Amino acid sequence: MSDIDPQLPEITEPPAAPRVVVEPRRSRKGAFLFGALSGCLFVLLGVFLLGILVAAGRSGGGDLSLSMNRIAVLPIEGEIVESRETIETLHKYAENDSIKAIVIRINSPGGAIAPSQEIYSEIRKIRKRIDKPIIASMDSVAASGGYYIAAACDQIVANPGTITGSIGVIMQWLEYEELVKWAKMRPETITSGELKSAGSPFKRLSDAERQYLQRIVLQLHSQFVKAVVEGRQGRMNASEVGVVSDGRVFTGEEALALKLVDRLGNLDDAVTMAAGLAGVKGEPDILYPRRRNRTLFDLLADNGESKSLLEQVIKGRAARFLYMWEAAQGLHSVK
């Protein structure tokens, strides 16, 4: 007799649990690298476009342009005290194949002799070495050292009212002898020679000192005249230059009649002339140099404000030989 009750259900094994298949996770390295490379490309493209916009902004109208027929404008403004920056820019423009001509825009009464001569000489060297027209465009004033530089160019364009000429040399300073006596001061000077202190503001010139300084002024004047004769060769002879080399200034209109300049016109006319001489067709793209901003070092090095008023006056009116036009003469001058 079986012990199993027929009334009880048959015991069976429980059904097996469903099998869960876990798929391996796909690697995201490929997508990450693709995204990183795409981002880098977009950044590089943005930098490239920004560079183009910056370069275009330095051209005349600021329009986006990759022109290979550009005219560079190089300004010379104010008193000429140094030549390094101007010469560096000249070299950069001369060696740039996309720049077909250079316009020297002059608005200066002149200044120190050596920088004027250095810029003149460099323009002449570039003209001989590279077939690239260099045109002078005169603004309000292009006198003395300003004209000296212009004479080195292929052509000179002046406005009718431009003040130019002033082919001459000036040495000028203030004499403080009576002021020093009034202040009960007595400056002492020890020199190695009789003429070493010639031009000192603390004493009057002796006849020997005046002759000595006058000789130097005349020699520097002769150098100026010679430079103008060489620069204006084929348009003015030595005799014609000599007639206008007595320090007088002229309007642009007078200068044209005297052959000191080649034509009347503004900056646009000078650019058009430069483009024509360079064989540029159509409207040229104009390039201006980027202005140099003063750095913190410049501000720290500039200690002019810390000087006393007397020191600034004395140093500002120290004796200097200049290719400079000055409408107001000082108290003591040698010309």
Q: Which residues are catalytic?
A: 144, 196
| Pair of tokens at residue 219 | 């020699």
Give the DSSP letter string of 18-72.
PPPP-PPPPP-HHHHHHHHHHHHHHHHHHHHHHHHHHHHHTBSS------S-EEE
Composition of the chain by helix, strand, coil, percent to 5:
40, 20, 40
- Our CA angle for 301, 306, 311, nearest 5°, is 110
Tokens encoding 221:
């004047």
Q: CA-to-CA distance for 309 and 133, rounded, in angstroms?
A: 46
For residue 211, give both structure tokens.
Answer: 């002759």
**Looking at this protein, which amino acid is placed at residue 308?**
S
Q: What is d(CA 29, CA 44) in angstroms, rounded to the nearest whole number?
A: 22
